[in-house]
Amino acid sequence: MKIGIIKERKNPPDKRVVLCPNQVKKALDRYKDLTIKIERSDIRVFSDQQYEACGFELSDDMSDCDLLLGVKEIPVDALIPNKTYVFFSHTIKKQEHNRELLKACIEKNITLMDHETFVDGKNTRIIGFGRYAGIVGAYNTLRGFGLKYELFNLAKAETLLHKEDLIFRLKKQFFPPIKIVLTGQGKVAKGVMEILDGMKMKKVSVEHFLTQKYDRPVYTQIGVTDYYKRIDGTEGSKQDFYDNPELYTSDFEKFSQVADILMTGHFHKTGSPVILTKEMLNSPKNQIKLIGDISCDVDQGPIESTLRASTIAEPFYGYHPRQGEEVEFDHPAAITVMAIDNLPTELPKDASEGFGEVFVEEIMPAFFNGDKDQVLKRATIVKDKKLTERFDYLQDYVDGKE
């Protein structure tokens, strides 16, 4: 098998890579019938020279590769017909802007797998950049707090190399006794907690968060049973919510009345109710002043102040709760919003090394063991010029009917 590590072509540029030089070496040492070619790139966080120094093949022609690995979406005109690709296609939620990409994969007889669709037998995701989204998102949110109140001006995360650099800078700053509420319990939320715990912020129970005052910054972590409740007033459960989201409504207002900052690390399934509404934010009892929407679901998303994704260049904007409109992030009446949708790009070295380690250990074996655990089969969206059975719900999307 010949694997090609392709150049990232999406704009704005993404410096991440699936396999860094050390992981390429590890894979080649482990699989004797494997060869790996690196497409030349002038933006990758690991330079061409770093790969060449390890003796790896570099080229501008990837047409002889069996499997092509990338991070972000690939422009349609750069897709090589009759190949197998793995990248984040951002199509499985019927994202409108990538409809043509999915159609092109079908028309060009491309076998498409998506990093997001690599799941185990329990349908749990195997690989992703969620941890690094949480790490960078937490840093950016706290950086925004310093800017909003003119307390400090931290360096942008993209100018730093490692998580430890972020924590070092945060620990040097003074924070008043703010309360932070964190939604979610997955990899994104754990990444956020790596930052908060690293800077020695105190974690408190939900009950104490809602009822106690503190003389130092604190945070609490909440799950679906904390911020949703059943409409009929009966007791709900996590599994019941997953099975019947339409029977639930938001119960987040008790948090918006006491929290200064919201950081989101939840997964929001299509059809689930809103978490933070415009009415909550416009209430005279609202205390939230800054929202780090790390999950960043824009279209019909659960955080109604997220009017659009922000960018690494311009990470913050303001949400005017009375008008329901965007204003400058430092507007006196604004709730400041950080909603960057490609956060791991700001820490490309750490993110690439962590991602590649999981790819080599958890995904790559499936290409050499006959896919005995059906990891590849479950991840395949397109094969033989049609959607696979697992993803045939996307047919109307492909046909332009949705």
Catalytic residue among 10, 25, 72, 320: 72
How buried is 110 (Cβ within 10 angstroms: 0-12 exposed, 13-18 middle, 19+ buried)? buried
Is 72 tagged catalytic?
yes
**Is 286 annotated to bind ligand?**
no
Whether the CB-CB separation of 310 and 340 falls below 8 Å is answered with yes
State residue 127 phi and psi, 5-degree precision.
-140, 150
Least Cα distance to 289 among 155, 142, 188, 401 occurs for 142
The reply to whether domains 2-127+350-399 and 130-346 share a CATH topology is yes
Q: Where are the alpha helices (DSSP H) in 108-173?
A: 130-148, 163-171
Q: What pLDDT score was predicted for residue 12?
A: 82
What tokens appear for 373 in the block? 């655990």
**Is 340 annotated to bind ligand?**
yes
**Is 392 annotated to bind ligand?**
no
- Tell me how far the alpha carbon of residue 273 is from its chain's centroid: 20
Q: What pLDDT score was predicted for residue 106?
A: 98
* Calpha distance 101→157 (Å, rounded): 31
285-300 core/surface letters (b: 16 or more CB in 10 A; e: else): ebebbbbbbbbbbeee
Whether the CB-CB separation of 8 and 72 falls below 8 Å is answered with yes
Q: Tell me the CATH number for domain 2-127+350-399.
A: 3.40.50.720
**Superfamily of domain 130-346 in the CATH hierarchy:** NAD(P)-binding Rossmann-like Domain (3.40.50.720)
Catalytic residue among 90, 156, 190, 278: 90
* Calpha distance 297→294 (Å, rounded): 9
Whether the CB-CB separation of 382 and 111 falls below 8 Å is answered with yes
Q: What pLDDT score was predicted for residue 300?
A: 72
* Calpha distance 52→92 (Å, rounded): 36
**Is 77 annotated to bind ligand?**
no
- Other CB atoms within 10 Å distance of the CB of residue 370: 8
**Is 342 annotated to bind ligand?**
yes
* Calpha distance 309→44 (Å, rounded): 24
Q: What pLDDT score was predicted for residue 179?
A: 98
- Locate the domains of the chain by residue range: 2-127+350-399, 130-346
Query: Quick one: which H or E segment has residue 209?
Result: helix 206-211
Q: What pLDDT score was predicted for residue 49?
A: 97
State residue 25 phi and psi, 5-degree precision.
-60, -45
Whether the CB-CB separation of 78 and 9 falls below 8 Å is answered with yes
The overall pTM is greater than 0.85:
yes
138-162 core/surface letters (b: 16 or more CB in 10 A; e: else): bbbbbbbbbbbeeebebeebeebee
Q: Which DSSP symbol is given to 200?
A: T
181 in helix, strand or coil? strand
* Residue pLDDT tens, the chain, 402 long: 999 999 999 988 899 999 999 999 999 999 999 999 999 999 999 999 999 999 999 999 999 999 999 999 999 999 999 999 999 999 998 988 899 999 999 999 999 999 999 999 999 999 999 999 999 999 999 999 999 999 999 999 999 989 999 999 999 999 999 999 999 999 999 999 999 999 999 999 999 999 999 999 999 999 999 999 999 999 999 999 999 999 999 999 999 999 999 999 998 887 899 999 999 999 999 999 999 999 998 877 899 999 999 999 999 999 999 999 999 998 999 999 999 999 999 999 999 999 999 999 999 999 999 999 999 999 999 999 999 999 999 999 999 877
* Calpha distance 60→42 (Å, rounded): 12
